[in-house]
Structure 1
């Protein structure tokens, strides 16, 4: 694999890392696809080992991302219906106020849903903060997994 192609794989990997932070881009899938592309071109035991390890890390990421944050949201009483409503408001917000409308719409939609459900500002704000912390924790789990994959790939490229 030539230097230019390795640089392109690195650019795709960087896009995957940014995709963790930007809604709508499947960051882990893009990182995995970059490693798959690299391993498919290299055909070495090291490249296939890195691909297998990346697959394992990203599958573990999926499990942890859904189990750990969901537990704290359930403990706070945030329902899936509230998150679905907030997601719908975020999509509308994205089109009404490009780029920044999605996070504003999500937080606003979640707060409004919880305010109607709980009837008080304090309870709704507490519930919204708990949900936002859980979502941020899920993003950190995903970012850590993608950084592990990117680090393994970079180590294999530089050391192999």
Structure 2
């Protein structure tokens, strides 16, 4: 595998890491897919080991990013529909207000869903904060997994 191809794989991995931060697209397929292409190109035991480790990390994160925040929301009594409303408002916000609209829409959508459910600002705002923390935890889990898989790939560059 040449230098140009390795740089292209690295760029796709970088796109995946950015996806973990901005949450507009999932990072796992980009990072895992790029490492898979790299492993196929090198076709060595070290390359396949790096891919296997990366794939396991990314799959574990895929499960964890839903289970862990979901448990926190369930303990707080916040329904999943609140996050769905927040996500829907985030998508609308993304198109209405470029760059920051996704975040504004997410916060506003979650708050309005909780306001409708709880019927008071005093109860809705703390619930919104709990829901946003759960979303933040999900982002952190996905980012850490993308960075761990990237770290395995960087180590693999020296092993093949």
* Cα shift at 1:15: 0.9
Count residues with an aligned counterpart: 160
Q: Where does residue 103 of structure 1 map in the other structure?
A: 103
TM (normalized to structure 2)?
0.95
Instruction: Encode CA deviations 1:91-116: one digit per residue, 9 max, x unaligned.
Output: 11112112211110111011011112
Q: Where does residue 8 of structure 1 map in the other structure?
A: 8
Within 5 A, what are the aligned runs for 1:46-57? 46-57=46-57
* Cα shift at 1:74: 1.0
Q: List structure 1 segments (4+ residues) > 2 angstroms apart after TM superposition.
A: none
Instruction: Encode CA deviations 1:13-46: one digit per residue, 9 max, x unaligned.
Output: 1111111011222111100011011001001011
- Unaligned 5+ segments in structure 2 are none
- SS class of match (1:25): coil
- Mapped to 2, the partners of 1:132 and 1:86 lie a distance apart of 10
TM (normalized to structure 1)?
0.95
Q: Where does residue 43 of structure 2 map in the other structure?
A: 43
Within 5 A, what are the aligned runs for 1:4-153? 4-153=4-153
- Unaligned 5+ segments in structure 1 are none
* Cα shift at 1:130: 0.4
- Mapped to 2, the partners of 1:34 and 1:107 lie a distance apart of 33
